[in-house]
Amino acid sequence: MREVRRTVPAPEDLGTAVIGVPTGSDLELDLRLEAVMEGILVSGSVRGRAVGECVRCLEEVVEDVDAPVQELYVYPERARAAVEDGDDEEEIRELDGDLVDVEPVVRDAVVPALPFRPVCSPDCPGLCPQCGARLADPENADHSHEVLDPRWAELDRIKDVLDDRKES
Ligand SMILES: [Zn+2]
Ligand SMILES: [Zn+2]
């Protein structure tokens, strides 16, 4: 068994449309490589820091990711046999000589571990639908707009006109 502990730069596009690990930022791999009958079993974890946007208020969200990794890399002849046995070729990771290409496995581990809809806080109230103010900001604590039913607004105008008349 071999242990691999290494910090690598994050590959491009490691994430979703709303959150991801920035390209080139540190990814810590902590992996065990074990020779088994069919090939090499890679297990362990990958850690990194994802940066995204709150889906409610667009504020930056930083999320630590710690994703478990487990993947079997099979010897090419085993892979061929497995495909003949009807296994899905796409799902088989083949060893390339003695090399293990970890990147796709890291991707498969990290992306599903990211929050599907990141939020800056679980009770983020989002943005004001009328003016776009960020409602979680302290200065917007009692933010509101006077909402008038259009029919009442109409009456208000009549009242204004009457008031004007009264004054004159
Ligand atoms: Zn938010
Ligand atoms: Zn507003």
CA of 59 to the centre of ligand 1 (A): 6
Phi and psi angles of residue 110, each rounded to the nearest 5 degrees, phi first = -75, -50
* Cα of 123 from ligand 1 centre, angstroms: 8
For the purposes of burial, counting CB atoms within 10 Å of the CB of 52, is it exposed (0-12), middle (13-18) or buried (19 or more)?
buried
Taking residues 101-130, what's their average pLDDT?
92
Tally of domains within the chain: 1
Read off the pLDDT of each residue in 157-164 and give the average, rounded to a whole number: 76
| Neighbour count for residue 167 (Cβ, 10 Å) | 6
Ligand nearest to the CA of 132: 2
Compute the distance from residue 153 Cα to the ligand 2 centre, in Å.
19
- Whether residue 53 is predicted with pLDDT greater than 70 in this model: the reply is yes
CA distances from 77 to 4, 40, 83, 93, 96 (A): 26, 13, 10, 12, 11
How far does residue 20's CA lie from ligand 1's centre (Å)? 17
Provide the pLDDT for residue 98.
60
- Tell me how far the alpha carbon of residue 60 lies from the centroid of ligand 2, in angstroms: 21
d(CA 49, CA 67) in angstroms, rounded, equals: 11
- Please give the distance, rounded to the nearest whole angstrom, from the Cα atom of residue 80 to the centre of ligand 2: 62
**What is the tens place of the pLDDT at every residue in 59-111?**
999 999 999 999 998 888 777 777 788 777 767 777 766 667 888 889 999 99
Give the distance (Å) from ligand 1 centre to CA of residue 52: 11
Ligand 2 centre distance from Cα of residue 17 (Å): 27
Q: Tell how far the Cα of 117 is from the centroid of ligand 1, in angstroms.
A: 11
Please give the distance, rounded to the nearest whole angstrom, from the Cα atom of residue 145 to the centre of ligand 2: 6
> Is the per-residue pLDDT at 54 higher than 90?
yes
Query: Which segments of 85-149 does DSSP mark as H helices, in order?
Result: 103-113
Instruction: Give the pLDDT score at 167.
Output: 65
Q: How high is the pLDDT of residue 25?
A: 96
Mean predicted confidence (pLDDT) in 1-23: 93
Output the pLDDT for position 79.
76
Tell me the percentage of the chain whose pLDDT exceeds 90.
57
Residue 161 has pLDDT above 90, yes or no: no
pLDDT value of residue 165? 77
Q: Which domain holds residue 69?
A: 1-168
